Amino acid sequence: MQSQTDKLKGVLYGQAIGDAMGMPGELWPVEQIQQYFGGPITTFLDGPTSNEVAVNFTRGQYTDDTSQALVILEALMESDWVPETAVFGKHLLRWADAIDAFDHNILGPSSKAALLALKAGADAHLVTASALTNGCAMRIAPIGALFDTRHCQKLVDMVCAVTQVTHSSDVAFAGAAMVAGAVTAAMDDLDWDDIVAFAMTASAAAKDYGVPTWSASVAARLQLGLRLAWENAHDSERFARLIYETVGTGTAISESVPAAVAIAYYTRDVQTCALFCANLGGDTDTIGAMATAICGAKNGYHSILPEWLTLIDEENPEHRLLDYVVPMQSFRNRTLI
């Protein structure tokens, strides 16, 4: 079993790798990915100039998914790990302004609307209560790494507190907790069936705290994704196609979150998972960030190709991922008492 420090590094680098690998084909149909790249994506690539989202990034750079995850960690560190909506809002706005995220199509629709409301000094609740997109789940994996499976309620409380700055709907809480719960269980080195079971438990608990919506159930769609994984254990191409066509790979939480957890369950290691997600079609960077973070939590930093780790460090100098590990470990030690 890997050390907790190794697993914490695995979460952060897993998230960054899945994000950066999935960036070039972000929000493109699978057919367009295959046509543009002349076949499957097999390595890190620049964002195409014809992709209005990915055009902002070059080879090995991660997107707002990972940047926001780190912003959330920084906000928690500032407040001594007490989640405060005002502090989250301050950090997210400062980050968004620094990279001109509002004008460069970098933010998702729910996060953009909520942050603009905060920036204007308005009440963002009307936006967050109906937020059904995945901006809250794409940045939540490191929160899952702070807890163990004995403390499900503490995990759920933290997830909801972090999420509500931009998303406060029931499906947002359920989806974010599903990703975080999978990371928590992977940190505890549970087997894969128990990882998804704990993710479902955390998701169900969190859902009750959100504003009710008509959104499809993330739990039901994860069950569908798991069934597809079992039925297509030896046919990854068919599994990918069925996830794309039936679970969905769009920006909705009810699509991308169950797709990501099912893909992590199916692929089970960082390299396979990152490449699988990059070629999936749809919200490839976000699904990659979530799914590959889970695999990183399970298998640890040492399992990742060294050249991939180096590329992430070199191409994203604005953050040093290893600087977040000691504070995360310190908080995790406090939660385990």
- Residue 119: band (very low, low, confident or very high) from pLDDT cuts 50, 70, 90: confident
Q: List, in order of start, the domains of the chain with CATH numbers.
A: 4-332 (1.10.4080.10)
In the 8-state DSSP scheme, what is residue 81? Answer: T
DSSP per-residue string spanning 124-149:
THHHHTT--BTTTTTT-HHHHTT--G
Is 29 a residue whose pLDDT tops 70?
Answer: yes
Q: Are 224 and 246 in contact (CB under 8 A)?
A: yes
Is 54 a residue whose pLDDT tops 70?
Answer: yes
Tokens of residue 143, six digits: 């929160």
Q: Give the separation between CA 77 and CA 271, rounded to whole angstroms.
A: 30
- Each residue of 252-263: pLDDT tens digit? 999 999 999 999
- Residue 1's pLDDT is 63
- Residue 47: band (very low, low, confident or very high) from pLDDT cuts 50, 70, 90: very high
- Residue 116's pLDDT is 83
**Average of per-residue pLDDT values in the chain:** 95
Q: Is 221 helix (H, G, I), strand (E, B) or coil?
A: helix
* Distance, first Cα to last Cα, the chain: 21
- Residue 143's pLDDT is 98
Q: Give the separation between CA 44 and CA 267, rounded to whole angstroms.
A: 18
Q: Is 169 helix (H, G, I), strand (E, B) or coil?
A: strand
- Residue 184's pLDDT is 98
- Each residue of 161-182: pLDDT tens digit? 999 999 999 999 999 999 999 9
- Residue 114's pLDDT is 85
Q: Is the dihedral of CA 16, 68, 56, 53 positive or negative?
A: positive
- Residue 10's pLDDT is 98
Q: Are 22 and 40 in contact (CB under 8 A)?
A: no
What percent of the chain is modeled with pLDDT above 70?
Answer: 99
- Residue 126: band (very low, low, confident or very high) from pLDDT cuts 50, 70, 90: confident
Q: Is the dihedral of CA 250, 251, 253, 258 positive or negative?
A: positive
Q: Give the separation between CA 138 and CA 154, rounded to whole angstroms.
A: 20
- Residue 120's pLDDT is 83
Q: Is the pTM of this model over 0.85?
A: yes
